[in-house]
Amino acid sequence: MTRFASTAASALAATILLSAAPTAAHPDQPENKGIVRVYLLAGQSNMEGHGVVDLDDERDYNGGRGNLVAFLATDDGAPWRGLRAADGSWVVRDDAFVSYRTGHGELKAGPLSVGFGVHSGGHHIGPELGIGMVLAEAYDEPVLLVKTCWGGKSLAKDFRPPSGGGTVGPYYLQMLAEYREAIESMESRFPALAGRTPRLEGVIWFQGWNDACDRDATVEYPANLKHLVSDLRREFGQPKLPIVVGETGNWDGDPFRSAQRAGCEGLDVVAFVPTRQFLKPAEECPNRTHGHHWYGSGGSYLQAGDAMGKAMVTLQTSGGWNTTPSESN
């Protein structure tokens, strides 16, 4: 299987709150043979992915400053230089796969590499690249990432979970429908996985901008997040399903990010992952006016994904851990 570095350039500042993960079987144990480790990646536009890979037009992409190619040339990007082959092409993994139907109906399905962001073509990434690299390195079994995400969607309304009261969010239902569609179509979309049994291993949630823009939704967010966790676990029949929540670190203002953290408190096998430390200065990024999309920074999306992937592995394999939260400002 294709392997390459996926270690973060600096220590991961992830906080897993009150976690007690179920005992995970060792990858070599018989019960793991013949499976596909499946992870549901859900959220809004920052899960979709607007990280620029290689576009470098001076007018639209700031001359390529902060795109993924530029990030890999920095000291912080050094651990991920294995993403590119000696001839400059992007490495395609044979042990991790992505299934993603974009909001405009395009199906992106194939082995993990660059290009699984929301835009057509191979010029954008989301956090799936960092997540998938970490998970593929951690396990012997192949990994399937199912992305279900749409821009401009709130947890208060669009993703509203059933136990939150009121009308169930249409995108909560669509998330489940697209996940099931991907699982049912797994062998046709990914012939390399034929004969294997898909097994849901965890959920990674990266969402929040729309709720942060609404005071009432911000106040309600901790309760809605707890409802989301419990409802997903009930839906999949896994009361200890590991769930990672990525901070909306590109939002300026601590009240909402604190609400996200509060939504994870008291929940077993749930990780809250700070991401504020991965936000780059606008002038050093491809899309200088797109703070809502991490200014298009390829490095920000890669680092945030790496952090969330590592948190998921920790939940699954070491029983969780508690650390002092990193500074968010």
Give helix 298-317 / helix 128-138 axis angle, nearest 10°: 40
By percentage, how much of the chain surpasses pLDDT 90?
86
Q: What is the mean pLDDT of residues 20-48?
A: 72
Does residue 5 sit within a domain? no
Does residue 185 sit within a domain? yes
9 pLDDT exceeds 60?
Answer: no
Written as one string, the DSSP assignment of 8-40 is -SS----EE-S--PPPPPPTTSGGGTTEEEEEE
- pLDDT for 326: 33
pTM of the predicted model as reported, rounded to 2 decimal places: 0.89
The band of 31, judged by pLDDT with boundaries at 50, 70 and 90, is low
- pLDDT for 319: 55
Number of domains in the chain: 1
List the structure tokens of 242: 């590991």
Nearby residues of 23 by Cβ (< 8 Å), 6 or more positions away: 319
Which domain range does residue 93 map to? Answer: 15-317
Does residue 93 sit within a domain? yes
Q: What CATH number does residue 210 fall under?
A: 3.40.50.1110
Does residue 141 sit within a domain? yes
Per-residue pLDDT tens digits for 127-160: 999 999 999 999 999 999 999 999 999 999 999 9
Does residue 322 sit within a domain? no
Bridge partners of 243? Answer: 203, 270
Count CA atoms closer than 13 A to 99's CA, side-chain side: 22
The band of 33, judged by pLDDT with boundaries at 50, 70 and 90, is confident
Does residue 125 sit within a domain? yes
The band of 282, judged by pLDDT with boundaries at 50, 70 and 90, is very high
Does residue 326 sit within a domain? no
23 pLDDT exceeds 80?
Answer: no
